[in-house]
Structure 1
Amino acid sequence: MAAPERLSTSRPSAQHVVWHWATPQARTILNSGDLGAILRFHRNVHGLNQTQLGNLLGYDKTYISALELRKKTLGDVSSLRRVAEQLRLPPHILGVTDPADTDHRAMVQFGQSTVRLAEIARQSGHASAAVAELWPLVARLEARLEDGHAEREVLRLLAHAQVGLGVALGNVLPEERLATAAHWTAKSLSITAHFNDPAFSSYALRMHGNELRKARIRGAAVDRLRHAAALALDRETRAAVLPLLARAAGELGDPQLFDSVMQEADDLIGSAGHTSLFNPYALHEIRLRGLVSTGRADVAIRLVDHGPGSTTTVAPQWRVIELITVAHVRLLGDDRTGATESLSTAMAEAVVQRLPHQLQRIVRTAGDRLPDVHGQAVQALDRIRQEMAA
């Protein structure tokens, strides 16, 4: 039976519909494909009566009531497509497949692969490539959200992509621009808050907290990382947070928090799986830097030569980070030869991996005591900045 003549209607604003399809309740209703239940849900979350929903969709109140009670159905494809568009739903939810919907599903599948591959690239020392892959994906997903489409799978993908983009930017941007990286990871938090998923929230808070730390917003970084640790439901998730929290606590100058977090990490190292962040090599670097930051350089000097060997688990940028920290400790112990060797190796790797932030650390570490290394690092940093400006 053909639908009655539609009444005039205006397109709903994006703000009006932006979050309601992201809830667990909505997911259950959408998976059922029950048009009546979908219409009732839309009315309930937006406080609409049947007349108002009818005005939105172009039908009268009686017809909306019949649809909700399953006394009538929308049998023609054009009507179903129009309802999906007005409610900001992918058409396949209502059983309609068209080129736009096929493109949407392909975008989600492609986007998931893009996020995974970008993370692999970043961990392999190719953060610039990760930024190049994630930037257009984030722009496309955010445009969809601006248009009012807030399907659960799209929102989850967007949050992961925003985090990935922010973390990758945190690798390739100089220190004075690291707040930009924290800005992108922060955008994911408004999405994860709607999922009621502690693991998802812990992940976003962990990555955002670390970017805040790098941007030297240390108090907020510790707050975010402690929250991430509190939401961690298992040892693997907690192990992912602890190294970052320890580093932030050290940079904040809080020896008690630093020591307690490092002790917990030491207790977990034998039972939790090793990752590019949670492994003996990374923890040794974090310990050295934290000891120096909390006024215990003498202890760091004694420990500097007793670190574990690096493994394939360690990401390339972590080797650079560790070499600079070791050089700093060696200089504190007046070992200029050892410090020069470590910084020269770190500089060569930082140039290859395009890590301006780490070159800035080399400049500061070398200072007046190693003028040759200082000058070489300044020149390398200037070249990267010129390339970025171009």
Structure 2
Amino acid sequence: MAGRDLARRGHGPLSTPARPLARHAEWHWATQQAQLVLNSQDLGLILRFYRGVHGLNQTDLGALLGYDKTYISALELGKRRIDDVGSLRHICAQLQLPPHVLGVTDAADVDHRAMIQFGASTVRLAEIARQSGHASEAVSELWPLVARLEARLDDGHGERDVLHLLGRARIGLGVALGNVLPEERLGTAATWTLKGLMLAEYADDTEFTGYALRMHGNELRKAGIGGAAVDRLSRAVALAPHDTARAAALPLLARAAGALGNAPLFDQAIRQADALLSTVEHTSLFNPFALHEIRLRGLADTGRVADAIALAKDGPAPTTAVAPQWRVIELVTVARIMLAAADLRGATTTLESAVSEATVQRLPHQLQRIMRTAGVRLPDVQGAAAQALEQLRAEMAA
């Protein structure tokens, strides 16, 4: 991975991200204001914007481009034009602009556009692979894309489309890693989603930021950082511009609130999610089956085990909208409730199925959940899960 990233370039605290453009001159073309300037294809406007970002006067910019102050002034005022392709390429190179912005198309620019298109497809396909139970394949697809985009960023090219794609690729990589890494390494997944969130907040894109907050908050929860997880997910709900975005955030907030033992917040999030079930299209996370598991776990985590036992008997069947890993998640949660009801036989059968599924899907984190759930009461199940986990660790190490 390329070494430099926003965390090392003076980005402010996550809750109040710093955005002074002059401080982030490497990404001066990534803001919404910059996008409007570039879309104008007005060289004079672009030059003035560049000077403002970098704190340059016309003499300074002239020295950078090899022109005198008078010529820069004429260009900015629209009194002079540059039509020579070589000169336009020179300006783009010096200002770190994609050449097509000034009407020039060359091999490098064609390659850049192809990379953006290919990269967007890679991110989409990786997400489909992860939700289909193939998170390892998603990781394999996203590593090289992230490396290539970060290399472009290191070269000083921080156009908005590059940063947007890199943000989504970092988040996708983090979420996929969150499926395939064992618990003690889940902080790595949260680190990658944080890097994506920082790019989203810098770009000042509300919908993208909400998505990044959801993904980062969920990885924080899995890593055991409950307070921060609830904070990020509460912000995602508050930022949601429409019901679909709220429906994506509320189940995750409910899970995090339950894990933190915050019963009022858990109940509120579940109620709001239930209210949207009949109006919002179901997804791999937002569907009756997933919400049932979240409700069971949250009730148990907030001290209402009797309610969870009563509810466990009437769970909905999984549908095609449910991701394969959710079946494993639900099996472990149901087994936990069975143990609370002293149903050792039912819990054993359920956890044995969970071990088999988690092994096939290569889900070390779920195998660790099985081991904790089985505990000393079901030593054979705990041993089978431990053996499967060690096999996965060996394969990952290789």
TM-score (norm 2): 0.92
Q: Is the 8 A contact 1:22 1:150 kept in 2?
A: yes
* Counterpart amino acid of residue 366 in structure 1: A
Q: Aligned equivalents of 2:36 and 2:291: distance in 1?
A: 43
Q: Is the 8 A contact 1:36 1:70 kept in 2?
A: yes
CA shift digits 1:234-276 (9 cap, x unpaired): 1111010111000000110111111111111112212221111
- The alpha-carbon deviation at position 15 of structure 1 amounts to 7.0
1:354 aligns with 2:372: no
What letter matches 2:261 in structure 1? G
The aligned residue for residue 379 of structure 2 is 371
The 2-side partners of 1:339 and 1:16 are apart by 55
Q: How does 1:292-331 map to 2 (within 5 A)?
A: 292-331=300-339
Work out whether 1:341 is the aligned partner of 2:349: yes
What is aligned with 2:63? 55
Which residue is equivalent to 1:9? none
Measured after TM superposition, the shift of residue 16 of structure 1 is 5.9
| 1:179-219 deviations in Å (ceiling 9; x for gaps) | 00000000112211133332111111011000000000000
Deviation at 1:71, TM superposition (A): 2.7
Match of 1:216, SS? coil
Partner secondary structure for residue 283 of structure 2? coil
Aligned partner of residue 308 in structure 1, secondary structure: coil
Which residue number corresponds to residue 160 of structure 2?
152
Does the 8 A contact of 1:17 with 1:88 survive in 2? no
User: Matches of residues 275-290 of structure 1 in structure 2 within 5 Å?
Assistant: 275-290=283-298
Separation in 2 of the partners of 1:245 and 1:382?
Answer: 32
**Structure 2 residue corresponding to 1:124, chosen from 122, 125, 132:** 132
Which region of structure 1 is more displaced relative to structure 2, 147-156 or 19-28? Answer: 19-28
Indicate which of 208, 223, 229 corresponds to 1:200.
Answer: 208
Structure 1 stretches of at least 4 aligned residues deviating more than 6 Å after TM superposition? none
User: Deviation digits for residues 60-87 of structure 1, max 9, x if unmatched?
Assistant: 2122112222333333322211211111
Provide, for residues 6-61 of structure 1, a one-character-per-residue CA deviation record: whole Å limited to 9, x for no partner: xxxxxxxx976322211222212212212111111111222211001111112221
* CA distance, structure 1, for counterparts of residue 83 and residue 264 of structure 2: 67
**1:137-182 CA deviation, whole Å, 9 max, x = no partner?**
1111112122221111111111111110110000000000000000
- Aligned counterpart, 2:238: 230
Q: Which moved more, 1:175-184 or 1:72-81?
A: 72-81
Which residue of the other structure, out of 108, 113, 123, is the alignment partner of 1:115? 123
Distance 1:16 1:221, change over 3 A: closer
Preserved contact between residue 15 and residue 148 of structure 1 (Cα < 8 Å): no
- Return the TM-score normalized by structure 1: 0.94
Q: Residue 316 of structure 1 aligns to which amino acid in structure 2? A: P
Greater CA drift, 73-82 or 177-186: 73-82
Number of equivalent positions: 377
CA contact (8 A) 1:156 1:191 kept: yes
CA distance in structure 1 between the aligned counterparts of 2:90 and 2:213, rounded to whole angstroms: 38
Q: Which residue of 2 aligns with 1:31?
A: 39
Of 95, 101, 106, the residue aligned with 1:98 is 106
Q: Does residue 190 of structure 1 match 2:198? A: yes
Q: Which amino acid aligns with 1:238?
A: R
Moved more, 216-225 or 138-147: 138-147
Worse overlay, 35-44 or 380-389: 35-44
Asked if 1 retains the 8 angstrom alpha-carbon contact of 2:25 and 2:53, the reply is: no
For the aligned residue pairs, the C-alpha RMSD in angstroms reads 1.3
- Mapped to 2, the partners of 1:147 and 1:309 lie a distance apart of 51
AA partner of residue 337 (structure 1): R
Gaps of 5+ in 1: 1-13
Cα displacement string for residues 97-140 of structure 1 (whole angstroms, at most 9, x for unaligned residues): 11111110000000000000000000000000001111111111
What SS is found at the alignment partner of 1:193? helix
Alpha-carbon distance in 2 for matches of 1:282, 1:94: 50
**Structure 1 CA distance, aligned partners of 2:381 and 2:303?**
26
Work out the CA distance in 1 between the residues paired with 2:130 and 2:305. 32
Alpha carbons 1:222, 1:249 under 8 Å: kept: yes
Structure 1 position 133 matched with structure 2 position 141: yes
Conserved 8 A contact 2:289-2:318:
yes
